[in-house]
């Protein structure tokens, strides 16, 4: 562990670290464009030049390994002048079109100009190098070559992360530009990442372009709901609407990346109409709106009647692997502990197998639910039923009479989803009495005895357990409309209506109960579920 001096302060670096990495670990940001923690080092931007004693020239902090006893200055006048010079160079041919640039507000050129630059331009407009603008690079990315600082992060991403190599430099000297061969589209499933790693406005998101100035957005830390990988994300939203989702760095899971499907998955939430109020079938068989109180009283009474007539074995609990651990825990608490039901499952499409199945070598898993492992760990997988087909069969055979079903369609859609949804519909249809908790309207809705509006991913806070058993906290970004409640709230109400204890006032309370009652989670605290999350046995 080499010790070195940075700006007069002695700090310890990890073996093999470069100056920029060691400085970052100790909270000193050395300005940079091309350096990126999850990409190979390139050393081209020359913004991170630092003054190292006994080295005649300034040296890049990103390429220089820390040596024992090294004396480094990143803030003296010599360094500041060099950084100012590099920044001025980067800006001479930059179009300075911040008022119409999506990057404005989170642009490294703007940020560093405020710290190091503040110079007046010495280059007349007519002398600037002109390059191509608004180049369509496929479904995710739009390229503006004039704004580019040529840091090669995008090139290195495609070379070393996706290994698809679509982007390259073209030309040389001050006419160098990035691009794809013959403007071919970036159509690999991770192309959106280059928008995040672009430190300037050269690569912008086709999806987010011109939607909102970034400083109006509120950020909520969350976990992607698109599959079982559990990538750390930040949801940017405003006035109850999500504008974009970008990765947060979790070196243990997704590094700095996010797949394109996951990135766009939040749009799925608004594609179909929401269920805004609890609905209950009257004696005439027609659904009518009711209050939550009416609904839970009626449900509890009816389920107890069925239990009295057919035994607790006739009640099915069918969970969703997209619900939070908190929702699933109280679901089990009510349907299992309170009503005595023993038949539980959540599988509509072999989620227990797909949860570990890698779709590629980068991030994606085949299971398009964020919490299948959580459902398994809570004991919601029945050997006898073996998934939804077994449940349908048991219901047809009359062994199962009633069911409490939580259903969230996957946020990342696949071709087979319609067929899968058909099975859910069939299950609800064959049950004599069905209570369905869902967020969106769908064709099964008319078949349900009771429909309870609950909040989907991003509209309630809670934890998800990813493919490897990593428990991670996802915050609540926006409020659900209408009367929708969090899944845990719905079951807390049912437990209360049923005469059981129901002391939970927040998802946090529920999580505390969960860690108390579920052995696998015993050691987990909510704090540990923040980055990088904690793996449970």
For 155, the enclosing helix (H) or strand (E) is: helix 153-160
Select 125 or 309, whichever has its Cβ closest to another protein.
125
Q: Is 176 in the site for another protein (CB under 8 A)?
A: yes
Binds another protein by CB under 8 A, chosen from 20, 23, 28, 49: 49
Select 58 or 452, whichever has its Cβ closest to another protein.
58
Q: Is 43 in the site for another protein (CB under 8 A)?
A: yes
* Tokens coding 52: 């190292």
Q: How many CB atoms lie within 10 A of CB 132?
A: 12
Region near another protein per CB under 8 A, out of 58-66, 374-382, 431-439, 445-453: 58-66
Instruction: Work out how close the CB of 44 gets to another protein at its nearest, in angstroms, rounded to a whole number.
Output: 5
Q: Is 171 in the site for another protein (CB under 8 A)?
A: yes
Instruction: Work out how close the CB of 46 gets to another protein at its nearest, in angstroms, rounded to a whole number.
Output: 5
* Alpha-helical regions (H) of 269-354: 292-310, 325-332, 351-354
Measure the CA–CA gap between 102 and 212, rounded to whole angstroms: 8
* Tokens coding 263: 């990135």
Measure the CA–CA gap between 484 and 467, rounded to whole angstroms: 28
Q: Is 154 in the site for another protein (CB under 8 A)?
A: no
Q: Is 174 in the site for another protein (CB under 8 A)?
A: yes
* Touching another protein, residues 212-231 (CB under 8 A): none
Q: Is 181 in the site for another protein (CB under 8 A)?
A: no
Select 170 or 216, whichever has its Cβ closest to another protein.
170
Select 90 or 536, whichever has its Cβ closest to another protein.
90
Region near another protein per CB under 8 A, out of 168-176, 247-255, 413-421, 438-446: 168-176
Region near another protein per CB under 8 A, out of 170-178, 206-214, 395-403, 513-521: 170-178
Q: Is 173 in the site for another protein (CB under 8 A)?
A: yes
What residues pair up with 454 in beta bridges, in sequence order? 485
- When computed from its CA atoms, the radius of gyration of the chain, rounded to whole angstroms, is 27
Residue pair 223/231 in contact (Cβ under 8 Å)? The answer is yes
Region near another protein per CB under 8 A, out of 19-27, 57-65, 280-288, 436-444: 57-65
- Strand ranges, E, within 297-442: 315-318, 343-345, 402-407, 433-438
Per-residue contact flags (x/-) with another protein for residues 65 to 104, judged by CB under 8 A: -----------------x--xx-xxx-xx-----------
Angle at 158 between CA 156 and CA 160, to 5 degrees: 60
Cβ contacts of 489 within 8 Å, gap of 6 or more = none
Q: Is 172 in the site for another protein (CB under 8 A)?
A: yes
Region near another protein per CB under 8 A, out of 5-13, 167-175, 394-402, 439-447: 167-175
Tallying the residues shown for the chain, one arrives at 537
What residues pair up with 220 in beta bridges, in sequence order? 235
Binds another protein by CB under 8 A, chosen from 96, 129, 214, 219: 129
* Tokens coding 48: 């991170």
Select 147 or 255, whichever has its Cβ closest to another protein.
147
Select 46 or 470, whichever has its Cβ closest to another protein.
46
Pairing of strands 167-170, 177-180: antiparallel
Residue pair 175/183 in contact (Cβ under 8 Å)? The answer is no
Select 32 or 255, whichever has its Cβ closest to another protein.
32
Q: Is 52 in the site for another protein (CB under 8 A)?
A: no
Binds another protein by CB under 8 A, chosen from 37, 115, 123, 301: 123
Instruction: Work out how close the CB of 108 gets to another protein at its nearest, in angstroms, rounded to a whole number.
Output: 13
Select 124 or 537, whichever has its Cβ closest to another protein.
124
Binds another protein by CB under 8 A, chosen from 27, 118, 120, 122: 122
Instruction: Work out how close the CB of 120 gets to another protein at its nearest, in angstroms, rounded to a whole number.
Output: 12
Measure the CA–CA gap between 10 and 384, rounded to whole angstroms: 63
Q: Is 107 in the site for another protein (CB under 8 A)?
A: no
* Tokens coding 528: 């540990």
Residue pair 488/462 in contact (Cβ under 8 Å)? The answer is yes
- Strand ranges, E, within 395-461: 402-407, 433-438, 450-453
Q: Is 63 in the site for another protein (CB under 8 A)?
A: yes
Measure the CA–CA gap between 256 and 136, rounded to whole angstroms: 24
Q: Is 45 in the site for another protein (CB under 8 A)?
A: yes
Residue pair 473/529 in contact (Cβ under 8 Å)? The answer is yes
Region near another protein per CB under 8 A, out of 19-27, 38-46, 231-239, 518-526: 38-46
Q: Can you tell me whether residue 73 is helix, strand or coil?
A: strand
| DSSP-assigned letters across all residues of 231-268 | -EEEEEEETTEEEEEEEPPBTTTTBT---HHHHHGGGG
What residues pair up with 241 in beta bridges, in sequence order? 238
Residue pair 536/336 in contact (Cβ under 8 Å)? The answer is no
Q: Is 40 in the site for another protein (CB under 8 A)?
A: no
Site residue total, another protein (CB under 8 A): 33
Residue pair 281/287 in contact (Cβ under 8 Å)? The answer is yes
| Residue ranges that bind another protein, judged by CB under 8 A | 41, 43-47, 49, 57-58, 60, 63, 82, 85-86, 88-90, 92-93, 122-123, 127, 129, 149-150, 168-169, 171-176
């Amino acid at each position: 562990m080499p010790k070195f001096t940075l700006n007069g302060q002695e700090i310890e670096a990890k073996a093999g670290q470069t100056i920029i990495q060691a400085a970052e670990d100790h909270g000193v940001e050395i300005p940079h464009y091309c350096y990126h923690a999850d990409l190979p080092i390139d050393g081209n931007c020359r913004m991170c030049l630092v003054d190292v004693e006994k080295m005649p020239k300034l040296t890049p902090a990103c390429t220089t390994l820390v040596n024992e006893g090294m004396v480094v200055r990143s803030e003296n006048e010599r360094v500041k002048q060099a950084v100012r010079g590099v920044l001025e160079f980067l800006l001479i041919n930059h179009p300075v079109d911040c008022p119409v640039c999506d990057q404005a507000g989170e642009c490294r050129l703007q940020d560093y100009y405020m710290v190091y630059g503040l110079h007046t331009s010495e280059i007349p407009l007519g002398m600037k190098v002109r390059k191509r603008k608004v180049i369509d690079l496929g479904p995710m990315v739009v390229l503006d070559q004039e704004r580019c600082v040529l840091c090669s992060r995008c090139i290195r991403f495609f070379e070393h992360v996706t290994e698809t190599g679509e982007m390259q430099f073209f030309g040389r000297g001050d006419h160098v530009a990035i691009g794809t061969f013959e403007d071919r589209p970036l159509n690999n499933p991770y192309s959106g990442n280059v928008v995040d790693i672009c430190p300037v406005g050269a690569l912008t998101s086709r999806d987010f372009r011109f939607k909102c100035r970034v400083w109006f957005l509120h950020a909520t830390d969350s976990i992607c709901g698109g599959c079982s990988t559990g990538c750390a994300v930040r949801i940017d939203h405003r006035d109850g609407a999500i504008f974009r989702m970008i990765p947060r760095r979790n070196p243990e899971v997704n590094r700095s990346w996010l797949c394109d499907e996951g990135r766009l998955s939040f749009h799925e939430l608004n594609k179909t109409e929401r269920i805004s109020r609890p609905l209950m079938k009257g004696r005439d068989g027609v659904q009518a709106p009711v209050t939550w109180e009416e609904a839970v009283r009626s449900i509890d009474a009816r389920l107890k009647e069925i239990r009295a007539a057919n035994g607790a074995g006739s009640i099915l609990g069918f969970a969703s692997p997209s619900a939070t651990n908190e929702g699933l825990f109280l679901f089990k608490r009510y349907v299992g502990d309170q009503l005595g039901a023993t038949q539980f499952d959540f599988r509509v499409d072999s989620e227990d197998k797909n949860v570990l199945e890698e779709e590629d070598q980068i991030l994606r898993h085949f299971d398009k639910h964020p919490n299948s492992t959580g459902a398994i760990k809570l004991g919601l997988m029945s050997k006898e039923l073996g998934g939804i087909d077994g449940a349908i069969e048991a219901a047809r055979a009359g062994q199962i009479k009633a069911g409490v079903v939580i259903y969230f369609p996957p946020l990342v859609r696949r071709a087979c989803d319609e067929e899968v949804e058909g099975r859910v519909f069939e299950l609800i249809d064959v049950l004599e009495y069905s209570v369905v908790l869902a967020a969106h309207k769908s064709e099964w809705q008319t078949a349900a005895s009771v429909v309870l509006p609950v909040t989907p991913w991003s509209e309630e806070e809670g934890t998800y357990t990813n493919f490897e058993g990593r428990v991670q906290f996802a915050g609540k970004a926006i409020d659900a409309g209408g009367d929708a409640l969090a899944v845990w709230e719905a079951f807390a109400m049912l437990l209360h209506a049923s005469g059981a204890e129901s002391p939970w006032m927040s998802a946090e309370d529920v999580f505390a109960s969960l860690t108390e009652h579920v052995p696998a989670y015993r050691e987990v605290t909510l704090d540990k579920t923040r980055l990088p999350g904690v793996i449970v046995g």
